[in-house]
Structure 1
Amino acid sequence: MTNDDVEHPTAVVETRLAHQVHRVATTLLAEAAVRPSVPLGALAQLRDFLVANLRHHHETEDEDLWPRIVAAAPATEHELGVLSEEHVRLDAALDLLAAVNMTGDEVGDGAGEAVGTGLGAGGVADGVRAALRDAAVAVRDTVHDHLEHEEPVLFPALRDHISPEDWQDFAQRVIATTPPVAGHLMIGFLDEVGTPAEVELVLSGLPEPVRPLLPAMRRQATDDLRILRGTGS
């Protein structure tokens, strides 16, 4: 365990890692969307992971974490309310990302021209990728800007106003309600953004039956992230 782990409470460490995952994952989708070597199926999986997890993250903040902080420090209510307004704008960007039709990727395997478009399968896939890229860039930019606003407010609030017991209760509620969408990607991203000690701190809250699955989840995440980055075999 590093000095940083000792100096910063679990709430700050876990939240910082979650935010770093959001930064890395949204950037990867924006960059991978138009990479021809990346199958649309892999992009759809990352897109679905991001939409589900970003929504869940900000909903648990609005509905559970913010009220805990305000109860302990009423003066934070306005700043947290501003952050919730930004969550509404993020939801709008996520709606557009979720609406990109990713079901047509496999038309690339000799399916012929798309009816009424005059485009072959490659043209259809290119259009899907361009639409995905535009929506992913909007989400990436919204998330990165939002985190720049949120962290200077949230990290001090977590340090000063959330007890270890309160954080443990909140974190367990988050884990219990996390959508089961490509969960292996979360493991892979955590390994990239955190130290082994930090990652173990986050994963220590997983239900015991899940822990034996971690090695397989890590292998799958490594394979999928290589494909998304265009470095797979």
Structure 2
Amino acid sequence: MTTVTAERPWVQEMVIVHRVFRRESRYMHDLIGAVRPGDTARAAVLAGLAREYIEGLHNHHTSEDELLWPKLLARVDLDAELVLRMEEQHQVVDAGLLEVERRLAAWERSPAEPERDALVAALAQHRRDLLLHLDEEEQQVLPLIHEHLTVEEWSALSEHARAKTPKDKLLFVLGALLEEATPEERDRFLGLLPLPARLLWRTVGKRSYAKQMNKIRNP
């Protein structure tokens, strides 16, 4: 884990965000694969969840494309090939998500076995593409970010992501981030919130998130 200082970005934040996409891409594949043919109610619930996942991943990659890669390309000449490869991997993931969306719409309209299985196959391919990208980004790019970006530039990435999140989803997103965070990571995330928001999470958000996840994952 990168040491946190006043001068360098806390790049572990990206690892925690990636945990959410790793986990939810696995859950989507497994939960949709378990839906019985004809179960329109369950299909509607999971289709809605999948679209939120797709939007969240798209916004995450858009933030990187707009705020991260241009700065790195301007500062790390010897690693330009790596940064360009990250952009290309985003394009591969985006193409896979378009296929998932296409298959998702067909399955939601008619949750029969062939439509379900085609969607599950698209989700499996998406997860393979995604994990390849996340692994390389964490191993190769995060050290460059830690070295070459300022704290303010790194914070702009987080602010961009928060601005794209509807206010009524902020506590849910926080719960997703905290689900597998270490105690130290949880303390740091919660410490970034104003006191009223921390109280809202502890009194309402934590319980609400757990209830929603239990309903989705254990129907």
Which residue of the other structure, out of 117, 120, 130, is the alignment partner of 1:130?
Answer: 117
Matches within 5 A, 1:70-149: 70-99=73-102, 100-101=104-105, 103-104=108-109, 124-149=111-136
Judged with a 3 Å threshold, the aligned counterparts in structure 2 of structure 1 residues 193 and 96 are, in CA distance, closer, same or farther, namely same
CA contact 1:175–1:206 (8 Å) conserved in 2: no
Corresponding residue of 2:13: 14
Matched with 2:32 is 33
**Retained in 1: the 8 A contact 2:9–2:149?**
no
- Whole-angstrom distance in 1 between the partners of 2:179 and 2:134: 19
CA distance in 2, matches of 1:162, 1:142: 27
1:63 counterpart (63, 66, 69): 66
Distance 2:132 2:212 in 1: 27
> Is 2:9–2:150's contact at 8 Å kept on the other side of the alignment?
no
Alpha-carbon shift at residue 14 of structure 1 (Å)? 0.5
Question: Secondary structure of the equivalent of 1:33?
Answer: helix
Q: Which runs of 5+ in 2 are unaligned?
A: none
Q: Which has the larger displacement, 36-45 or 11-20?
A: 36-45
Aligned to 1:113: none
Matched residues in 2 for 1:22 and 1:34: separation?
18
* Greater than 6 Å deviation, 4+ residue runs: none
Is 1:45–2:48 an aligned residue pair?
yes
Q: RMSD in angstroms over aligned alpha carbons?
A: 2.9
Higher relative helix content: 2
Matched residue, 2:161: 174
Q: How does 1:156-171 map to 2 (within 5 A)?
A: 156-171=143-158
Q: Which has the higher contact order (CA 8 A, sep 6+)?
A: 1
State the AA in 2 paired with 1:20: R
**Residues in 1 aligned to 2:196 and 2:74: alpha-carbon distance in whole angstroms:** 35
**Residue in structure 2 matched with residue 116 of structure 1 by the alignment:** none
- The structure-2 alpha-carbon separation of the partners of 1:6 and 1:152, relative to structure 1 and needing over 3 Å to count, comes to closer
- The verdict on how the C-alpha distance between 1:43 and 1:195 changes in structure 2, with shifts beyond 3 A counting, is same
Q: Deviations over 1:71-126 (max 9, x none)?
A: 33333322111110011010011111122225447xxxxxxxxxxxxxxxxxx443
> What is the TM-score with the length of structure 2 in the denominator?
0.80
TM-score by length of 1: 0.76
Give the number of equivalent residue pairs: 210
1:24, distance to aligned residue in structure 2 (A) = 0.7
Q: Percent identity?
A: 26
Q: Which runs of 5+ in 1 are unaligned?
A: 106-123
